[in-house]
Amino acid sequence: MTSFRVRPKFAFETDKPLKEVLERMAKNNGSTHPHVEGRFSKSHGFFTIKASEQHFWSPQLNISFEETDRDTLIIRGRYGPNPSVWLMFLFGNILLGIASFFITIWGLAKLNLHQDATILWILPFLLGGFVFLYIIAQTGQKLGVEQTFQIHHCFEDCLGESIHIQ
């Protein structure tokens, strides 16, 4: 699971009908992997670590099911942190992006007017903030890698297929 992506994902096609896939998931849910629990609906699935074993960096797997005209089923999945953790990173990146944008505009305007544009020296620090958030995300992903494998193996066992993560 060594990935430079913040949220690894997969997508594959299967010939199994949606009803059979959902039945297999409901039947195998928690029986072979007691640390993992899942919830499923007609077009969406969700695997997570049981609440008693979760920590701040515990991952979850969101799955979507899409039936095609060729009588196949496309299953897409994305691993990610708890939504509150993901939201924290999203807001952090948005704030850094907005600050970078306005400081760049302000600094370039001052530069064009031949005024003091020392505000542009803040940009390397903001870039450092982006790098810092990325490193924290990668560290969190590494801290949750064992639980990610547990979820992935549970999902593979429910489907009875091997799935490659991108």
DSSP 8-state assignment for residue 15: S
pLDDT in tens, the chain (166 residues): 455 566 788 998 988 888 888 888 888 766 678 888 988 888 898 899 998 999 999 999 999 999 888 888 999 999 988 888 989 999 999 999 999 999 999 999 999 999 999 999 999 999 999 999 999 988 988 999 899 889 988 888 888 888 888 7
pLDDT of residue 35: 87
CATH number for the domain whose boundaries are 9-81+145-159? 3.30.310.80
pLDDT of residue 126: 98
Structure tokens, 35: 């640390």
Strands (E), the chain: 9-14, 36-40, 44-49, 59-67, 73-81
Domain extents in the chain: 9-81+145-159, 86-138
